[in-house]
Chain A
Amino acid sequence: MKQAISNNARTLALFAIGCTALVSGVHWLTKDTIKNQEELQLLKTLHQVIDQNRFNNNLTQDCKFITDSQLLGSNEQQTAYIARLDEQATTVAITSVAPDGYNGKIKLLVALNVDGSLSGVRVINHQETPGLGDKIEIRKSDWIEDFVGKTVSEDNESRWAVKKDGGMFDQFTGATITPRAVVKAVKNTSLFFEKNQDTLLTNSGSCRGNNDGA
């Protein structure tokens, strides 16, 4: 009896070790490619929201962790990527969350010029209804480009809403909750930027650790 148990346990342990070894091997082989892919993807999105002529630094390295459960929509740490042209900050791209999407959280990347105007917005991740709410994706519709050039100020704050609520942004047929959530999140991110502009731009520090030796 005891013999059988220990034999089985040994076999099981051996297979567990073997399988773990296989997975770690593949992980080790693909680790760098995956990291590159992720960085490439991020860089691609960053390039979409920030004008190429407005920076010459390494965007993915010049970044900073920020948290603001109110304005950035999540208790989790968000990242701000700072675009600089000859050391002078020009644009900041902030990841933020629209917590009140139709189907959960919508993750956004909001890029703001230093004067507070929007340089671009992209949806990074969402679970909205295909065919209705997913028009927030640039692949499906150019709705998200409506934000470009707009600024949140005291006299137009009430216009930062969908048209159904008396605002200036289109809603989608059959989906109002999704664009409403995105508009609100973009507005809040702009307010966050206004409030924290100085600390965001002045002390530069990398969120990636010291991997470039600096």
Chain B
Amino acid sequence: MTERNEYKELTWQGLWKNNPGLVQLLGLCPLLAVTTTLTNALGLGVATLLVLVCSNATVSLIRHLVPKEVRIPIFVLIIAAFVTCVQLIMNAYTFGLYQSLGIFLPLIVTNCAIIGRAEAYASKNPIKQASFDGFMMGLGFMLVLAALGAIREILGQGTLFDGADLLLGDWASVLRIEVFHFDSKFLLAILPPGAFIAMGFLIAAKNAIDAKLEKKQAKQTETKTIERVRVNFDA
């Protein structure tokens, strides 16, 4: 039962409460640079997710073997190795996407979300929980990437899933949706300033939802106390 609660907590932490993109604000460089289209965002999201799960699992597996003093270089080594592997695999099997993600794939190494999770969680917890944490954190990061990519693609080009065939193979070009048509693109959404602004709105929306939830909860406890008071009163 406690283990189940732990997984629930990890899910909640990764996807919402401690989301690497929206709350920890880690890995902003690739987050803002790559999310010009939904396809690119998903590509980088999947790559980061893969690296995060692999690195968390490995770090947790070797946590008793690694002396404390040299743990950081070892974590970096492991992460770099996995990133290189993912890069090679993408180069081999999703060549077009590899070209459009370009420099940002190797930059996953410097995504602090990954080393952050390795240090803060994986190095102290058993492999099952660590992999799950990596998966949820990666998923949370990917969802933020995808949301940002979708917003920017719709505003900037009026399409969704443009170039999906680069990620999924030729059949996926049917996924492309033309939401509306512009003669010239809305540049601000495509360029980095637009990314910052959209990111700001996403964070604001999350905070607003949190505030609302809190209010609701507060009200609930309030009504509960009143009820209890009334019960007491009756008694």
Instruction: Pick from A4, A27, A173: contact of B88, CB below 8 A.
Output: A27
Q: In the complex, A140→B78 CA distance in Å?
A: 39
Instruction: Pick from B65, B69, B85, B190: contact of A131, CB below 8 A.
Output: B190
Q: Would A33 and B78 count as touching, CB distance under 8 A?
A: no
Task: Tell me the B71-114 residues at the A interface (CB within 8 Å).
Answer: 73-74, 77-78, 80-81, 84-85, 88-89, 91-93, 95
Q: In the complex, A15→B66 CA distance in Å?
A: 10
Known contacts A34-B88, A34-B92, A37-B91; decide if A131 and B70 are in contact (CB<8 Å): no
Residues in chain B near residue A8, CB distance under 8 A? 67, 69-70
Q: How many residues of B contact A (CB 8 A)?
A: 26
Residues in chain B near residue A129, CB distance under 8 A? 191
Residues in chain A near residue B224, CB distance under 8 A? none
Q: How many residues of A contact B (CB 8 A)?
A: 25
Question: What does DSSP make chain A's interface, helix, strand, loop or mixed?
Answer: helix
Q: How far is the CB of A49 from chain B (nearest CB, A)?
A: 18
A19 at the interface (CB under 8 A from B): yes
Q: Would A37 and B74 count as touching, CB distance under 8 A?
A: no
Q: Would B73 and A130 count as touching, CB distance under 8 A?
A: no
Residues in chain A near residue B80, CB distance under 8 A? 19
Q: How far is the CB of A16 from chain B (nearest CB, A)?
A: 6
* Residue in chain B with minimal CB distance to A36: B92
Known contacts A7-B67, A130-B191; decide if A15 and B93 are in contact (CB<8 Å): no
Q: In the complex, A41→B84 CA distance in Å?
A: 22
Residues in chain B near residue A30, CB distance under 8 A? 88-89, 91-92
Residues in chain B near residue A138, CB distance under 8 A? none
Q: In the complex, A27→B70 CA distance in Å?
A: 27
B56 at the interface (CB under 8 A from A): no
A-B contacts, 21 of them at CB < 8 A, read A7-B67, A11-B67, A11-B70, A12-B73, A12-B74, A15-B78, A19-B77, A19-B80, A19-B81, A20-B81, A22-B81, A23-B85, A26-B88, A27-B88, A30-B92, A34-B88, A34-B91, A38-B95, A40-B95, A130-B185, A130-B191
Q: Which 8 A-B pairs have the closest CB atoms?
A: A19-B81, A33-B92, A30-B92, A131-B185, A37-B95, A26-B85, A8-B70, A30-B88
A interface residues (Cβ-Cβ under 8 A, vs B): 4, 7-8, 11-12, 15-16, 19-20, 22-23, 26-27, 30, 33-34, 37-38, 40-41, 129-132, 173
